[in-house]
């Protein structure tokens, strides 16, 4: 929610190259390593929430918010942290491939105005999915439903089907 309060509602240029997205995997690896080192080598086993756990939680959250805000201003994109640095998306990308609930559009009634793609906060080329007659199979979709609300033809809707992810159609710089 904090990121939505920042001034850059929509990235105008699209995503950076895919090598920037590698940072999320590195961040996930470092975070997981810290937990495993604390657990196995230092035998850290918290039993309750003490002062040291509270301080670690606060410092960790401040690091996340600070890095998210710095990235948003540097890249002029509120969702830059989600796209390039968030370690949670490493796990979510795996599970979203199997998601039954995805966005679908009717290619026969689509006017191809492009509002859905232009307003997608994750830079997904929704119009291309619709043109191909496919559901939005991108693992980057956060299911915010912005595309469904900006569609002037009301052809986009959430559908419940079984299909396993496909090619990522992302707008790049």
Check: CB of residue 61 under 8 Å from CB of residue 47: no
CA 99 to chain centroid, in Å, comes to: 15
pLDDT tens per residue, the chain (173 residues)?
777 788 877 667 778 887 888 888 998 999 899 989 988 998 888 777 778 888 988 998 898 889 989 988 998 888 888 888 888 888 888 888 888 899 999 999 999 999 999 999 888 999 999 999 999 988 888 888 999 999 989 999 999 998 876 778 888 87
Q: Which two tokens stand for residue 151?
A: 């569609």
DSSP classification of residue 15: B
Task: Tell me how many degrees the CA angle 140-146-148 measures, rounded to the nearest 5.
Answer: 105
Q: What are phi and psi of 76, to 5 degrees?
A: 55, 50
Return the pLDDT at 62. Answer: 92
Q: Assign 124 to helix, strand or coil.
A: strand
Q: Which two tokens stand for residue 36?
A: 């495993």
Return the pLDDT at 79. Answer: 84
Domain with CATH 3.30.70.20 in the chain: 98-160
Return the pLDDT at 77. Answer: 86
Q: What are phi and psi of 143, to 5 degrees?
A: 55, 45
Tell me which of 3.30.390.30, 3.30.70.20, 3.40.50.2020, 3.30.559.10 is the CATH number of domain 98-160: 3.30.70.20
Q: Assign 145 to helix, strand or coil.
A: coil
Check: CB of residue 93 under 8 Å from CB of residue 25: no
Return the pLDDT at 126. Answer: 94
């Amino acid at each position: 929610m904090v990121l939505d309060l920042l001034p850059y509602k929509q990235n105008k240029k699209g995503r950076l190259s895919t090598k920037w997205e590698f940072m999320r995997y590195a961040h996930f690896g470092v975070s997981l390593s810290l937990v495993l080192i604390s657990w196995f080598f230092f035998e850290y086993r918290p039993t309750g929430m003490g002062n040291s756990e509270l301080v670690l939680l606060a410092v960790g959250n401040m690091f996340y918010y600070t890095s998210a805000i710095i990235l948003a201003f540097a890249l002029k994109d509120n969702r830059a942290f989600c796209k390039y640095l968030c370690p949670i998306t490493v796990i979510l990308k795996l599970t979203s491939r199997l998601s039954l609930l995805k966005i679908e559009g009717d290619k026969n009634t689509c006017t191809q105005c492009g509002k859905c793609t232009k307003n997608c906060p994750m830079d997904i080329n929704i119009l291309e999915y619709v043109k191909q007659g496919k559901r939005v199979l991108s693992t980057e979709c956060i299911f915010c439903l912005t595309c469904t609300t900006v569609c002037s033809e009301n052809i986009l809707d959430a559908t419940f089907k079984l299909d396993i992810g496909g090619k990522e159609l992302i707008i790049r710089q």
